[in-house]
Amino acid sequence: MKGHKKIVIIGLVLLMALSAVLTGCGGSATNSASNSGNDKQVLNLNLVQEPSTLDPQKATDVVSIDILTEVLDGLTRYDKNGKIEPGSGLAKSWDISKDGLTYTFHLRDAKWSDGNPITAQDFEYAWKRALDPKTASQYAYQLFYIKGAEEYNAGKGTADQVAVKALDDKTLQVTLKAPTPQFLGLTSFVTYLPLEKSVYEKYGDKIGTDPDKLVYSGPFVISQWNHEQSITLKKNKDYWDSSSVKLQTVNFTMIKDNNTLVQNYDSGTLDSIFVPGDYIDKYKSSSEYSDKALATNWYIQFNTKNPVFKNADIRKAFTLAIDRKSFVEQVTKDGSIPAEAVVPPGIPGYNGDFRKEAGEAYFKDNDVLQAKELLKKGMSELGISKLPTITLLGDDTDNAKKYDQALQQMWSQNLGVNVQIQNVAFKVRIDMMDKGNYDMVFAGWGADYNDPLTFLDMWETNNGNNTAFYSNPQYDKLIDEAKVNGDLKARNDELIQAEKILMDDMPIGPVYFQARQFVVKPYVKDLYFPTFGSDWEFKWAYIQNN
């Protein structure tokens, strides 16, 4: 299968090269489509819902990111293999200073969809706009690695003190506060996408509310946007790499109902969908079906200020008493992976997969005997003979309720503990967690960037996301060092040690690494599903033999 794809790609490259020679390098954009025969190069996908905003500096939700990453190129762009390479985005190359602090990006010659050249000033402008307190961008902190950025956003510095500068039209220089290995990857993220100054000045806060109120630098442009209904993308003729783009049109619907979604896939209106949980059995044996692990972990988070869960042995008892294997096989049934560690597989370590480097498991799954012993030990440490009523907090979706009940049953069976369940709306759950109004909660975390740190730094003392109120000075020290360590091998070891401490103290009990399931029609080729960030990458996708 893979070999077959390779042949197709090589063939296409040869054909494209030939056509470029024949047409004198200019008009290869339109010719590339004909490479795939007479197939209409149209892809139909479901966006589920309306993007919150297509203002790149304000977007935070996955739906907005789905669209923005296809219509705007940043300095870098993840390639087909999920790697950042020089030239995969608008920067054709970059130099990094020896201390790892100063990045100098050299921009390629590229044009906005309105015909104006894309300049280093467009990046400087966009990044400073994201940091401007008046923009009130939620993701401004994604730029806080840059020197002077946090101060400007907090109103304690000026825009000129932010260390991002266009040296000339094609050179952008950035100075960071500390060495940040994930910085190159971050420059592909929405908050870092460029914006043409004159366009922003024309539309102000209306930017990105309609197709004509944005200019594009990516593989596609938005040609139509019927709010709450559909979005249509067309190939961007001015895109610097337009010869790689074969699709002429991408149609997005916004279907929320699962049954409607499945019927649209079956009737051929949609070419690929994410399979809703209840329909996995329907497709599982089909050749169109695949599942893929996401960079997302789910865990039981214990409130370490709680009179019972302040005891580490009791936290461990509850974690060990979960039968993860049955949980993913009989409850989630979606290809999720049992988790006996914090960082999901697929996140890079020093020289490969972090999960492999740190070891797959820190404890044994479904270790009932050990769990019972730990519970007994913990209770005697606390000087209690009976546990008070314990409540598990969770979301009020159908799936969450099902999962919570399965856990409840496992604790009852394996530990003999009766756990109550409280299901509330998502924002209410988050608010209760922030305020510490819970005993334990079933929660998940998705990667912000492709590095183990995104799953580990949140458990530092007083981190806003540390709603388990966990605190271990040794752990804080390791994370603080890893954040600024330019020696990547040593940094990786620090992160591994930190994860081990976290699993010794167990403020969170890992349950599973989330997978997602999708079906793709056989005539759709080279449609990629990244592990984090956007739902799809279809820059290279094409239709064959439909």
Partner 1 sequence: MLNYSIKRFVYMLITIWVIITLTFFLMHMIPGDPFTSEKKVPPQIRQNMLAKYHLDKPLIVQYGYYLDNLMHGDLGISLKYLNRTVDDIIKQSAPASFQLGVQSIFLGVVFGLFFGIVAALKRGGGWDYFSMFLAIIGISVPNFIIATLLQLLLASKLKLLPVSGWGSFKYTILPSIALSFATLSIISRMMRTSMLDVIGQDYIKTAKAKGLSQLQIIWKHMVRNAIMPVVTVLGPLFAGIVTGTFVIEQIFSIPGLGKFFVQSIYDEDYSMILGTTIFYSIILVVMMFVVDIAYGLIDPRVRLAKGGK
Identify which of residues 263 and 330 has a Cβ nearer to partner 1 in the complex: 263
Identify which of residues 161 and 465 has a Cβ nearer to partner 1 in the complex: 465
Range 253-312, binding partner 1 (CB under 8 A):
253-257, 259-260, 263-264, 266-267, 269
Distance between CA 185 and CA 191 in Å, rounded? 12
C-alpha angle 487-488-491 in degrees, rounded to nearest 5: 90
Q: Least distance from C-beta 121 to partner 1, angstroms?
A: 23
Which of 70, 150, 340, 537 contacts partner 1 by CB under 8 A? Answer: 150
144 is a contact residue toward partner 1 (CB under 8 A): yes
Stretch that binds partner 1, among 162-170, 462-470, 480-488, 512-520 (CB under 8 A): 462-470
Q: Least distance from C-beta 253 to partner 1, angstroms?
A: 6
Which of 15, 337, 432, 488 contacts partner 1 by CB under 8 A? Answer: 432
Taken in order 430, 432, 434, 436, the sign of the CA dihedral is: negative
Identify which of residues 175 and 269 has a Cβ nearer to partner 1 in the complex: 269
Distance between CA 154 and CA 133 in Å, rounded? 7
CA proximity to 539, closest of 189, 43, 60, 86: 43
Q: Least distance from C-beta 126 to partner 1, angstroms?
A: 16
Q: Least distance from C-beta 77 to partner 1, angstroms?
A: 23
Identify which of residues 58 and 316 has a Cβ nearer to partner 1 in the complex: 58
Q: Least distance from C-beta 495 to partner 1, angstroms?
A: 20
Which of 7, 10, 18, 154 contacts partner 1 by CB under 8 A? Answer: 154
Q: How distant is the alpha carbon of residue 491 from its chain centre?
A: 22
SS (H, E, C) 198-254: HHHHHHHHHCCCCHHHCCCCCCEEEEEEECCCEEEEEECCCCCCHHHCCCCEEEEEC
Q: Least distance from C-beta 61 to partner 1, angstroms?
A: 9
Identify which of residues 30 and 264 has a Cβ nearer to partner 1 in the complex: 264
Distance between CA 246 and CA 36 in Å, rounded? 8
Q: Least distance from C-beta 302 to partner 1, angstroms?
A: 17
Instruction: Centre a 10 Å sphere on the Cβ of residue 389 and count the other Cβ atoms it contains.
Output: 9
Identify which of residues 149 and 415 has a Cβ nearer to partner 1 in the complex: 149
Q: Least distance from C-beta 430 to partner 1, angstroms?
A: 5
Q: Would you call 513 helix, strand, or coil by DSSP?
A: strand
138 is a contact residue toward partner 1 (CB under 8 A): yes
Using alpha carbons only, how large is the chain's radius of gyration in Å? 25
Q: Would you call 324 helix, strand, or coil by DSSP?
A: helix
Identify which of residues 141 and 363 has a Cβ nearer to partner 1 in the complex: 141
Identify which of residues 58 and 170 has a Cβ nearer to partner 1 in the complex: 58
Instruction: Centre a 10 Å sphere on the Cβ of residue 529 and count the other Cβ atoms it contains.
Output: 17
Stretch that binds partner 1, among 98-106, 165-173, 252-260, 334-342 (CB under 8 A): 252-260
428 is a contact residue toward partner 1 (CB under 8 A): yes
Range 21-80, binding partner 1 (CB under 8 A):
50, 52-53, 55, 58, 60
Stretch that binds partner 1, among 28-36, 75-83, 431-439, 501-509 (CB under 8 A): 431-439
Identify which of residues 455 and 542 has a Cβ nearer to partner 1 in the complex: 455
Identify which of residues 198 and 263 has a Cβ nearer to partner 1 in the complex: 263
Residue 528 class from Cβ within 10 Å (0-12 exposed, 13-18 middle, 19+ buried)?
middle
Q: Least distance from C-beta 322 to partner 1, angstroms?
A: 22
Identify which of residues 256 and 376 has a Cβ nearer to partner 1 in the complex: 256
Q: Least distance from C-beta 130 to partner 1, angstroms?
A: 11
CA proximity to 56, closest of 192, 258, 229, 199: 192
Helix ranges restricted to H, 452-517: 453-456, 473-484, 488-505
SS (H, E, C) 148-202: CHHHHHCCCCCHHHCCEEEEECCEEEEEECCCCCCHHHHCCCHHHCCCCHHHHHH
CA proximity to 179, closest of 499, 498, 487, 492: 487
Q: Would you call 105 helix, strand, or coil by DSSP?
A: strand
Range 207-236, binding partner 1 (CB under 8 A):
207-209, 226-230
Binding-site string for partner 1 from residue 433 to residue 452, where x marks contact by CB under 8 A and - marks none: -x--------x-x--x----
Q: How many residues bind partner 1, per CB under 8 A?
A: 56
Q: Which residues, 6 or more positions from 426, have their beta carbon under 8 angstroms from its beta carbon?
A: 395, 396
Distance between CA 88 and CA 80 in Å, rounded? 10
Distance between CA 202 and CA 217 in Å, rounded? 18
Instruction: Centre a 10 Å sphere on the Cβ of residue 475 and count the other Cβ atoms it contains.
Output: 23
Q: Least distance from C-beta 17 to partner 1, angstroms?
A: 41
Which residue ranges make up the site for partner 1 (CB under 8 A)? 50, 52-53, 55, 58, 60, 133-141, 144, 150, 153-155, 205-209, 226-230, 253-257, 259-260, 263-264, 266-267, 269, 425-428, 430-432, 434, 443, 445, 448, 463-465
